[in-house]
Amino acid sequence: MIQIGTGNQGEAWCREFLPPNVEDGTVEVVAAVDVNEAALTNAVEALPISEAECYTDAETAMAEHGRDADAVALVVPPGARTELVSLAIDHDLEILTEKPIAASMDDAVEIVELVEESDTKLGVTMSHRFRRDVTSLRRRLRSGEDGPVDYLYCRYAVNARSRGSWAGERLYDVEEQPLLVDGAIHHLDLLADMAGGRAETVFCRSWNPEYSDFAGDPNAIVQLGMDNETTIVYEGLNTAATSFNGWWAERIRANCRDASLVLDDGELRRFPYERSAENCLGHTSLEAGEPIALENREKWGNALLVERFAEWCAGGEPMETNARANLRSMAIVFAAIESAETGEAVDVREFLTGHIDPDSPLAALR
C-alpha cells in the first residue's frame, strides 16, 4: 500500500490504524506521500519505511512503486480525491479512501463511475459504523431479540463553537455545511445501516448561532424516513455550552417492540417493556438499564477496515462500505443539505436518480 496523506488524520493512520495491520502481515506500506514534507515524519517514525520512500508528489510515488504496490490509501481533503482516484486507476491500484468520498454529490458520482468503468476496487472508511459499541448495538438489533426497531435517535452535542476546538481550522472556514459533510456523514451512515432498508425521505433544519466561529452551519436536526417504516432523528450540535455527547460518546436510542436499547458514552443498556400505567410518569436513569456486554475482537474502526479492504483485494467479499454502497450514504447527506437550503423534505431516491445519467454504469441505482 502507498499511504497518501500523513498529516492531520493521516498521522492517525500512520500511528494507530496501519501499525496493527503491518505487525500481523495484513499490509506492507511501501511508500508515503504528503504535500507537506514535515508531515512525512509521522510515516518514518511510525511505519517501517525510510525517508527515501517518502514523497511530496503522489504521481511520482505511484510511478516508482506501482509495480510493488497493490493499492493506495487516500487520507486527503475531499476536494483532492477525484484527481488521485484517476491517478490510482492509471497505475492499476485499488483504492481505500477516507470519508466523505467527495465534496459534492456530482463528484461522488464521478468517482464511483470511474472505479466501476475500470473495475477498480474502492472502499470508504466509514469507521464509526465499525466501532466496538456501535457494532454491538447493530448486532443486537439485527438479532431480533427485542423485536423490530421502529425508531432510532442519535445525539452528538459538543462545545466546539470556538475556532480550532473541532477538527482544527479548516472546517471553521467551510461556508456551507461543515457538520453535515464532515461529521454527520458518519452518524447518518451508521443510523441508516442500523435501521436496514433504504432511505426514502429526509428533512433537515440547520443553523449557525451568531456566537459561533463557524462560517457555515455547524448544527442540524435531520429526520429520515426509511422504506421499512423505521424513523430516524439525528441531532448534531457543535455549539453547545459544554460537551454532552462527543465523538465516540454519542447517545443512540433504539426503540423496539420489546425493549428500548440505549448506547451512551460507549455503554450499552437494555430497558425491557413493562405494561404499567405508571411507566409514563417520572424519569428512568441510564444506570437502571440492564448492561449488555460489548463485542470483542482485536481491531475496530479504521484498523478493521484496512483489514477488510486487504481481504477484498485478496479475493474476499467486497467491503460493506464499497464505492457503490457508499453512494447511498452520500445521497442522504447531500439530500439533507438540499432540504436545509429549501426548507422542504427531499425524496432521497429521486435526488440520487437526478445525479446519475441513464447511460451511466450506475443506472441500476436510479
Mean pLDDT on 197-207:
97
At 176, is the pLDDT very low, low, confident or very high (cuts 50, 70, 90)? confident
Assess contact for 94 and 74: CB atoms under 8 A: no
- pLDDT at residue 274, rounded to an integer: 86
Residue type, 295: E
pLDDT tens digits along 250-265: 999 999 999 999 999 9
Q: Specify whether the backbone of 91 is left (phi greater than 0), alpha (psi in -120 to 50) or beta.
A: alpha
Mean pLDDT on 14-28:
98
Kindly tell me if the per-residue pLDDT of 358 is higher than 80: yes
In the chain, % of residues over pLDDT 90: 88
Mean pLDDT on 307-314:
98
Q: Specify whether the backbone of 87 is left (phi greater than 0), alpha (psi in -120 to 50) or beta.
A: alpha
Q: Which domains does the chain have, with CATH numbers?
A: 2-127+303-321 (3.40.50.720), 129-291 (3.30.360.10)
Kindly tell me if the per-residue pLDDT of 278 is higher than 70: no
- pLDDT at residue 279, rounded to an integer: 61
- pLDDT at residue 277, rounded to an integer: 55
Kindly tell me if the per-residue pLDDT of 102 is higher than 70: yes
- Of 167, 137, 100, nearest in space to 265 by CA: 137
pLDDT tens digits along 280-290: 667 889 999 99
Separation of alpha carbons 292 and 269, rounded Å: 5
Structure-block grid coordinates of residue 314: 485478496
- pLDDT at residue 296, rounded to an integer: 97
Q: How many C-beta neighbours within 10 Å does residue 81 have? A: 22
Separation of alpha carbons 152 and 254, rounded Å: 5
pTM: 0.94
Kindly tell me if the per-residue pLDDT of 364 is higher than 90: no
Mean pLDDT on 43-50:
97
Residue with cell 494507530: 16
Mean pLDDT on 176-190:
92
Give me the helix-helix angle, 81-90 and 58-65, nearest 10°: 20
- Of 122, 96, 98, 90, nearest in space to 109 by CA: 122
pLDDT tens digits along 110-146: 999 999 999 999 999 999 999 999 999 999 999 999 9
Mean pLDDT on 193-197:
95
